[in-house]
Amino acid sequence: MLKVIGLLTRKPHLTHEQFVDHWLNVHGPLASAVPGIRRYVQSHIRDTRTRPDVPESAVQIDGIAELWYDDLASYEAAARTPEMKRLTDDGALIISEIKTFLIEEKEIIPLKPS
């Protein structure tokens, strides 16, 4: 399984609330149409916390996008689809900066049943 994480910063003309509304209600459904995406999660930033023993980063983000694919080939195939083009074109309307990471997870505490 391959996980892709994007740190997103909104366009300056948008409020955080406008960004989140578009990201959830317009962008999210577009992601649902992209073949090969196994899971998609939007993490909407509500607040930050600081620690007295570690300086806070200057990075300002409005959300974290997480996408799961079966493997690198599935990720690359999805990137070539018209559905992904529509998704990235829409993202360009609301995202001013993005930093994307290809992630290999190391599970430390598994999901516990509720």
The structure tokens listed for 58 are: 């200057």
Separation of CA 64 from chain center: 4
Lowest mean pLDDT among 56-60, 70-74, 99-103: 56-60
Element (H, E) at 63: strand 63-69
| Annotation: CATH topology of 2-48+61-103 | Alpha-Beta Plaits (3.30.70)
pLDDT of residue 51: 86
- Percentage of the chain with pLDDT > 70? 100
Q: What is the pTM of this model?
A: 0.88
Q: Where are the domains of the chain?
A: 2-48+61-103
Residue pLDDT, tens place only, 21-35: 999 999 999 999 999
Confidence of residue 49 (pLDDT cuts 50, 70, 90): confident
User: Is 62 within 8 Å of 19 (Cβ atoms)?
Assistant: yes
Which residue in this structure is represented by tokens 């559905």?
83
Q: Calculate what percentage of the chain has a pLDDT beyond 90.
A: 79
